[in-house]
Structure formats: structure tokens, C-alpha cells
Amino acid sequence: MKNVELDDIRKMLLKQNYIIEDTIAMAVFLALKLEKPLLVEGPAGVGKTEIAKVIAKALNSELIRLQCYEGLDSTHALYEWNYQRQLLYLKMQESQSKDIKAKEKDVFSDKFLLKRPILKAITNSKQSVLLIDEVDRADEEFESFLLEVLSDWQVSIPEIGTITANKKPYVILTGNRTRELSEALRRRCLYLWIDYPDFEKELAIVNARVPGIDSKLGKQICLFMQELRHLKLEKTPGISETIDWARALATLHLSHLDKQIVESTLGVVLKDWQDIRRTTDALSELLEKTGVVSRIG
Amino acid sequence: MQQAPLTYQTALSANMVLFCRFLRKKGFNLGPSEEADALRAITMIPLGEERLFRQSLRAVLAKNKYQFNVFIDCYTEFWDQIAKAVDSKLKQDKPVKKATDAVQNREAQFNALKDWLNLVPSTEEKSVSTYSDIEVLAKKDFQDLSNDEMQLMMSLLKRLARKLAHQKSRLKKKSKKHKVVDLKKTIRANMRRGGEMQNLIFSEKKEKKMKLVLLCDVSKSMDLYSRFFVHLIYAFQNAYDKIETFVFSTALHRVSEILNNHEFERAFDIISERVPHWSGGTTIGSCLSDFIETYSYGHLDGKTIVYILSDGWDTGEPDIMRSAMKSIYKKSRKVIWLNPLAGSPNFSPEAVGMKTALPYIDVLASAHNMDSLKRVIHETRKRRNLINRQIYF
């Protein structure tokens, strides 16, 4: 990553069909150059996880994903011994006369070690991208464990010894802000906030991800989504919903929106029945603002 | 010393340090390592482009959404001052003293609140004056609080909630990870294998946790009380398995999701928008029946404690109220009714709604100030006491 310049990052990401704006490019660039983890926060569905996938593809490296949940502890994140296999192996080795030390070495060898994401990232021979998804779902203990790993990049397994990473992976953390993260973790990372896109950006994304969509349809979809986000919904739709909807409508070979079509495909965009009800009630207004003429009859 | 018009390279690092100090006064939590990162970052970008310079600093120095958003303003403010060659260092010195004083004061208030709630016995010396301030404040009816006092209360509660959340969750985690091998069951399970342990059976301590259901009246007069009450309950939320919150005025709405997914002030704003306020009167009875019909299946069981916060002025049929309260009482572990009117010395449950509901209430409390709220919280631990039904004011 020594000779990469800011523009190269932008080009790399664009090649992967990820529409980027300056803030994102700068954050990714600095994270790669300074070798610091990147904390990406924002509402659901705006492309936080996407960034990690796209970076991994662009750098031609492996994406290792750790999905956090409440109750996640270091066992699930780091490693676990395959107890069952070890027991079977011991049983099989019973008849053979090896001395204890050799047996011990065998049993605690690599083939009985279940590597979980973080250990996988550490022991990877190439540089990988470690995505720690929804880190705010995990608890405080896990956060302190994470801090330790992120600073030392070494793991000590009592039976084997200390394993140090030869190639430090790039780390991307994502969060939804359901819980406030600890200060210490935040200070370790570079920060990026991704918000819902504006009209131009959303249109660019739709055109990049759904090639061949009718341009009028594309514009109407984006206008509609912009208006929709102004309503106070339980689950405000993000860019992924826009892309799904655009794909659905493109498959139907439509060239413009109308009230019936919107009503029947609303389930692609909204995932909560109260939201759907509220939107259908306000549908005519929304469509007017979008400039869609409804079919008569 | 005044800086001459800057030659970019030589004075840059000095200005960077000053910039970081400036941000620190503004509340950014930056240490020397972050300053070092910032200096490294600007070596990576092409010189001369101010936009890139600004963005790179933002990526490194802003650590959360709020800082991210105000960064540009702080940046412009600082570099404008540099451009005018004003010694920004001198300007910052005066506000510092006030800031540290205010911070110390807040700390003292916070510790006093903690002690008063009897949650964490602190061995630190607490300043007596702050403690008695809190005591006085705790007896004031919420409606009588001035704006500043209210802000203070809310922010103290918020901090309390965060602290408690961290404490309780540690307890939770320990028992989960304490995977103890249950030897008895393991041996039994492996009997057919000649006593060799092929399957390990683990046991976890079963945690008995309580569930709460909060039914809050949010009509005009009750709104403030509801807010404080919910705020305080959520401060303890990690002690409970689940808290379901409902608000009602003329209809019942489930708001647990909103409270879980948003920060408190924002959550309450969203709630006020959704629930139409009607100062005319509240149909408590029909809202409670609504609750029974729609939600009792999933939410009411022998482990649930039901809190109802309302003044009891029901404009509906008393029979509806009676049958609803009866069902709630039967199905739950305890019913606690909070009536802020009960805080006034002339109170007696004359309102028709209250009278009808009274036989089905375990504890009637007032919750009109922090003192009574605190008692209510402690009350939650005990079981239903059929002999001594308690009424707190």
C-alpha cells in the first residue's frame, strides 16, 4: 500500500461499482495508509458492509467477516479446540505406544484447532480485510478484548504458544449506533459517518448497479425514495432497498412509475406493516411530489 | 509570539498541535497519539489542496457522528484565527478555568445522585452541600422543576443509565461464560460408551429475570411524569430480562422499539409526534382492554410486573376498566399504579377510574418526584404481598 495515491483509491472503488464521494475516499485512503482500523457508522442499509466487501475485492484480498451479536465472546471470535475430534483421536491412538509428550503435541496441533475469524485474519499468509460487523451489538467485555487484539495483533493459545500476525489485516468496524461504543475503541479508529444519499448520488448508484434501467424510471425511483425518507417511518429504507426496488421494476420492463405498480411492489422497499400502511395512505401526495401522473381508471 | 504569514511547511506542525488543543477545548477527546496520527495523515496527501487537507484531518480527529458534523465549523474557526495572526492560545486560556469548574461540579452532583439512590456505596468524600442539594431536588415535584434543574436531572439520569448498564452486564456475562461441566449428566450420558467421556454436557446457571410492562399515560398533564419514570426504569434495564413500554392517551401504542433504537430525547420526540394528545380526557379503560386483547398473550405472565402511570381520570365506562384491571391483575406478578396526583396531601382515590381499579392494584405510589420514584424502584424486588397492600406517597 506504499505507492497508492488518493485518486487510485477512488478509481479502484469505482471499478467495483461503488459510487464514492470524497469523504469516503479520504477515510478509506487514510485507513489503508496509516494502517488504522476504520469505524463506519450510519443508518441501516447505506452501504457500510458493502465498503468492506468492495475494498477486499479491489485489493484482491480475502474478506474475513465477524458478525457480532449479544453474548459474543472471545471463543467464538478467536478460536476453539475441536474437543470431539480430539477425544476420538485419543481413542484411536490408545493402542499405539507413543510417549505422552508426543501425544500431547499431536492432540494440540493445528488440525484440531478451529480458527474463528480473528485468528484466521492473523494467521493468513496474505493481507486480508477483517470486517467486524455491527460491533455495537457486542458487549463491553468484547470491546476490551477487541482493543487488545487490535493493538497487539498477537494471540496466545496456552497449549501452543503465542501467534503473531505477520501481515496485519485491514480492519473495518461497522455500527448502527444502537449502543454507544467505548471511547477507547473510538480513539483507536478513524471515523466515517455515511448518511442517506442525496438525489444525484442515489441516481448514480442505481445506474451503476442496475445497468440498462430506463432513465426516466431511474429518476422517478430516486425522487420517490427521497420523498419517502422524509416520512417518519419505523424502518427507513436505505440504498439497498432502492437497488432492490429498481431491479424489480427493471425486470418488469417498466418505463415509469404509477400508483398501482408502487402499491403492489411496496413490500420490496418497506418491511414493516405500519410503514406500508402509512405510505399507502400518503401515496397520492408522494407521487404528486415525484411528478408521477397516475393512471386513470 | 505572533506567527509571520505562514510558510506552509515549517510552521505547519506547530499549528497542528495548536489545532488539536483548540479541538480539545471544544470537547474533542484527543491525545498525543491522535495528534501524531494527524501529522502522519497530512504527509500522505498532495500539498496545496485545502479540501483534502480538511477532509484528512476530519477522518483522523473526529471520532463520532457529532464531532464529524461540527468539525468543519471548528476547522474554519481555528484557521481563520491563524490567518488573522491572532494568538489563539491566549484566547483559550480564560474559558478553561470555567470549564474545569463546571466539570468538577457535575461530577460532584453525579456522585451525590448515585449515593442518594443507594446504588454504589462510594468511599470518596462527597461534598455535603451537593448531597443535600440533590436531596432537596429529589423532593421537588417534577412540574416545579425549572428548566435548568430539569436538564440537570435528565443528564444525570442518562449518565446513571450508562453506568448501570455496564455494571449489570458484567454479571450477566459471567454466568453465561461459566460453562461448568455437569459431571453427573456427563457420566450418565456416556455410560453406554464404557465410561469414556465422549460427550461433554455443560450446564449453565438458570437466571431468573423479571419482565416489566410499562403502561404510561402521555396526555398533556402526565407527559412529564411519564418521561422521568421511563427514563429511570431504563436506567436499570439490564437488571430485567425485558421491558415493554406502551403509551396511551386515547389509544394504546407500543413504543418499546423506539426507545430501544433511539437516544432518549429523540425517542420521546418521535413518540409525541405519533401519539395524538388530547387534553380532554383519557379513556384508560379502553386502552387497558386494548392491551389485554392485543398484547397480553406475549407479554403478560407470572414473571411480569406491570407499571401503570396515570392520574386515573377515566372518561370511559367503569365496567371496561374493571374487567381490564382484573385480567391484568390475575395474569401478572404485581401491579403497581403510579399516580402523580397522589403526591398532594389532599389526595384520596375518589376519581371513578382509581376507585374501580383499586382492588386490583398491589402498590399505589405517587412517582411525582425522584424520592417516590426511588422507592418504587426498590419496591419492584419484592413479591406480591396480599396481607399488607402498600400505598406510598
- How confident is the model over B341-380, as pLDDT tens digits? 776 666 666 677 788 888 888 888 877 777 777 777 666 6
* Domain CATH number, residue B344: 3.40.50.410
Distance, in Å, from the CA atom of A179 to the CA atom of B262, rounded to the nearest integer, reads 9
The x, y and z cell numbers of residue B47, run together, are: 500539498
Beta-sheet strand order (sheet of A63-67): A63-67, A129-133, A170-175, A38-41, A190-193
* Cβ-based contacts of B274 with chain A (< 8 Å): 232
Q: State which residues form the domain around B141.
A: 96-152
Examine the domain organization and report whether B124 and B247 are in the same domain: no
Examine the domain organization and report whether B15 and B121 are in the same domain: no
Mean pLDDT value across residues A183-208: 89
Residue-level pLDDT at B204: 66
Of residues B187 and A63, more confidence is placed in A63
Name the residue among A133, A140, A106 with its Cα closest to residue A117. A133
Q: Note whether A140 contacts B170, CB cutoff 8 Å.
A: yes
Q: Does B170 contact chain A (CB < 8 Å)?
A: yes
Q: Cell match 479540501: residue?
A: B51
Decide: pTM greater than 0.95: no
Residue-level pLDDT at B392: 52
Least confident of A68-77, B259-268, B319-328, B364-373: B259-268
Mean pLDDT value across residues A89-108: 80
The x, y and z cell numbers of residue B342, run together, are: 397522589
Residue-level pLDDT at B201: 72
B59 → closest Cβ in A26, A71, A186: A26
Q: What are phi and psi of B380, to 5 degrees?
A: -60, -30
Distance, in Å, from the CA atom of B274 to the CA atom of A80, rounded to the nearest integer, reads 48
Mean pLDDT of chain B: 72
Distance, in Å, from the CA atom of B282 to the CA atom of B383, rounded to the nearest integer, reads 30
Domain boundaries, chain A: 6-78+116-193, 83-112, 199-290
Distance, in Å, from the CA atom of B7 to the CA atom of A297, rounded to the nearest integer, reads 72
Examine the domain organization and report whether B260 and B372 are in the same domain: yes
Mean pLDDT value across residues B189-204: 72
Residue-level pLDDT at A141: 81
Q: Note whether B68 contacts A190, CB cutoff 8 Å.
A: no
CA distance, residue B101 to nearest chain A CA (Å):
23
Least confident of B82-86, B230-234, B378-382: B378-382
Residue-level pLDDT at B117: 55
Examine the domain organization and report whether B15 and B61 are in the same domain: yes
Examine the domain organization and report whether B70 and B105 are in the same domain: no
Examine the domain organization and report whether B246 and B356 are in the same domain: yes
Least confident of A63-67, A113-117, A268-272, B120-124: B120-124
- Using alpha carbons, list the distances in angstroms from residue A22 to A129, A176, B55, B277: 22, 22, 8, 45
Q: What is the dihedral of CA A247, A252, A254, A258, to 10 degrees?
A: -90
Of residues B369 and B318, more confidence is placed in B318
Contacts (Cβ under 8 Å, ≥6 apart) of A174: A39, A40, A41, A48, A49, A52, A131, A132, A133, A134, A135
Q: Note whether B62 contacts A87, CB cutoff 8 Å.
A: no
Q: Does A193 contact chain B (CB < 8 Å)?
A: yes
Predicted confidence (pLDDT) per residue in A17-51, tens digit: 888 888 888 899 999 888 899 999 988 888 888 88
Mean pLDDT value across residues A178-185: 73
Residue-level pLDDT at A37: 94
Q: What are phi and psi of B63, to 5 degrees?
A: -115, 0
Query: CA angle A130-A132-A133, nearest 5°?
Result: 135
Predicted confidence (pLDDT) per residue in B98-143, tens digit: 445 556 666 666 666 655 555 444 444 444 555 566 666 667 777 7
Q: Does A73 contact chain B (CB < 8 Å)?
A: yes
Of residues A4 and B13, more confidence is placed in B13
Distance, in Å, from the CA atom of B180 to the CA atom of A114, rounded to the nearest integer, reads 21
Best B58, B159, B272 residue to mutate vs chain A (most A CBs within 10 Å): B58
Residue-level pLDDT at B92: 43
Distance, in Å, from the CA atom of B325 to the CA atom of A258, rounded to the nearest integer, reads 49
Residue-level pLDDT at A245: 93
Evaluate if residue A172 carries a pLDDT over 60. Answer: yes
Q: Is A53 exposed, middle or buried (0-12, 13-18, 19+ CB in 10 A)?
A: middle
Evaluate if residue B390 carries a pLDDT over 60. Answer: no
- Helix locations, chain B, DSSP H: 8-25, 32-44, 50-61, 65-83, 88-116, 128-139, 147-177, 183-189, 223-235, 256-261, 264-274, 284-299, 318-331, 352-357, 370-379
A190 → closest Cβ in B46, B52, B60: B60
Distance, in Å, from the CA atom of B60 to the CA atom of A27, rounded to the nearest integer, reads 8
Furthest C-alpha separation in chain B: 88
Closest-CA residue of chain B to A34:
B41
Examine the domain organization and report whether B317 and B221 are in the same domain: yes
Q: Note whether A178 contacts B260, CB cutoff 8 Å.
A: yes
Q: Note whether A192 contacts B59, CB cutoff 8 Å.
A: yes
Mean pLDDT value across residues A179-207: 87
Phi-psi region of B43 (alpha: psi -120 to 50; beta: other; left: phi over 0): alpha
Bridge-based pairing state of the strands A190-193 and A38-41: parallel
Predicted confidence (pLDDT) per residue in A213-229, tens digit: 888 888 999 999 998 98
Closest-CA residue of chain A to B197:
A87
Distance, in Å, from the CA atom of B238 to the CA atom of B170, rounded to the nearest integer, reads 10
HEC-encoded secondary structure of chain A = CCCCCHHHHHHHHHHCCCCCCHHHHHHHHHHHHHCCCEEEECCCCCCHHHHHHHHHHHCCCCEEEEECCCCCCHHHHCEEECHHHHHHHHHHHCCCCCCHHHHHHHHCCHHHEEECHHHHHHHCCCCCEEEEECHHHCCHHHHHHHHHHHHHCEEEECCCEEEECCCCCEEEEEECCCCCCCHHHHHHCEEEECCCCCHHHHHHHHHHHCCCCCHHHHHHHHHHHHHHHHCCCCCCCCHHHHHHHHHHHHHCCCCCCCHHHHHHHHHHHCCCHHHHHHHHHHHHHHHHHHCCCCCCC
Name the residue among A162, A74, A156, A158 with its Cα closest to residue A108. A158
Name the residue among B391, B317, B315, B331 with its Cα closest to residue B358. B391
Mean pLDDT value across residues B257-266: 71
Q: Note whether A30 contacts B274, CB cutoff 8 Å.
A: no
Closest-CA residue of chain A to B267:
A234
Contacts (Cβ under 8 Å, ≥6 apart) of B280: B315
Q: Which fold has domain A6-78+116-193?
A: Rossmann fold (3.40.50)
Examine the domain organization and report whether B217 and B146 are in the same domain: no
Q: Does A274 contact chain B (CB < 8 Å)?
A: no
Q: Which of B54, B86, B118 is the last residue of a domain?
A: B86
Name the residue among B163, B61, B178, B79 with its Cα closest to residue B117. B163
* Cβ-based contacts of B44 with chain A (< 8 Å): 29-30, 33-34
The x, y and z cell numbers of residue A12, run together, are: 479502484
CA distance, residue A20 to nearest chain B CA (Å):
14
Evaluate if residue A206 carries a pLDDT over 70. Answer: yes
Complex-level ipTM: 0.72
Name the residue among A263, A228, A225 with its Cα closest to residue A244. A225
Q: Note whether B63 contacts A29, CB cutoff 8 Å.
A: no
Mean pLDDT value across residues A151-159: 87
Evaluate if residue A122 carries a pLDDT over 80. Answer: yes
Residue-level pLDDT at B378: 67
Q: Does B173 contact chain A (CB < 8 Å)?
A: yes
Q: Does A283 contact chain B (CB < 8 Å)?
A: no
Distance, in Å, from the CA atom of B382 to the CA atom of A169, rounded to the nearest integer, reads 52
Of residues A24 and A97, more confidence is placed in A24
Q: Note whether B173 contacts A84, CB cutoff 8 Å.
A: no
b/e code A223-250 from CB counts within 10 Å (16+ = b): bbbbbbeeeebbbbbbbebbbbbbebbb
* Confidence label for B179 from pLDDT (cuts 50, 70 and 90): low
Q: Does A84 contact chain B (CB < 8 Å)?
A: yes
- Find the distance separating the first CA and the last CA of chain B, reported in whole Å: 65
B380 Cα distance to chain centroid: 18
Least confident of A58-62, A124-128, A248-252, B361-365: B361-365
- Using alpha carbons, list the distances in angstroms from residue B297 to A234, B7, B161: 23, 73, 30
Of residues A116 and B277, more confidence is placed in A116
CA distance, residue A92 to nearest chain B CA (Å):
13
* Cβ-based contacts of B270 with chain A (< 8 Å): 232
Q: How many domains does chain B have?
A: 3
Q: Does A32 contact chain B (CB < 8 Å)?
A: no
Mean pLDDT of chain A: 85
Any bridge partners for residue A155, and if so which? Answer: A163
Distance, in Å, from the CA atom of B223 to the CA atom of B214, rounded to the nearest integer, reads 14
Residue B205 maps to a domain: no
Q: Note whether B270 contacts A6, CB cutoff 8 Å.
A: no
B44 → closest Cβ in A30, A73, A91: A30
* Confidence label for A246 from pLDDT (cuts 50, 70 and 90): very high
Task: Please tell me which of B62-66, B324-328, B348-352 the model is most confident about, judged by mean pLDDT.
Answer: B324-328
Residue-level pLDDT at B389: 56
Q: Does B257 contact chain A (CB < 8 Å)?
A: yes
Q: What is the CB-side half-sphere exposure of residue A226 using CA atoms within 13 A?
A: 16
Closest-CA residue of chain B to A22:
B55
Residues 335-374 of B with CB under 8 A from A: none
Least confident of B252-256, B275-279, B307-311: B275-279
Task: Please tell me which of A248-257, B91-100, B259-268, B370-379 the model is most confident about, judged by mean pLDDT.
Answer: A248-257
Task: Please tell me which of A105-114, A218-227, B107-116, B207-216 the model is most confident about, judged by mean pLDDT.
Answer: A218-227
Residue-level pLDDT at B91: 45
Least confident of B27-36, B159-168, B215-224, B316-325: B159-168
Q: Note whether B62 contacts A191, CB cutoff 8 Å.
A: yes
Name the residue among B330, B286, B327, B334 with its Cα closest to residue B308. B334
Residue-level pLDDT at A254: 84
Residue B278 maps to a domain: yes
Bridge-based pairing state of the strands B363-365 and B334-338: parallel
Residue B114 maps to a domain: yes
Residue B244 DSSP code = E
* Cβ-based contacts of B36 with chain A (< 8 Å): none
Residue-level pLDDT at B205: 54
Examine the domain organization and report whether B267 and B125 are in the same domain: no
CA distance, residue A175 to nearest chain B CA (Å):
11
Residue-level pLDDT at A297: 34
* Cβ-based contacts of B46 with chain A (< 8 Å): 5-6
Mean pLDDT value across residues B255-284: 72
Q: Note whether B59 contacts A87, CB cutoff 8 Å.
A: no
Examine the domain organization and report whether B245 and B349 are in the same domain: yes
User: How many cross-chain Cβ pairs, A to B, lie less than 8 Å apart?
Assistant: 81
CB B348 within 8 A of CB B376: no
Q: Cell match 496520527: residue?
A: B37
A6 → closest Cβ in B37, B52, B197: B52
Examine the domain organization and report whether B58 and B127 are in the same domain: no
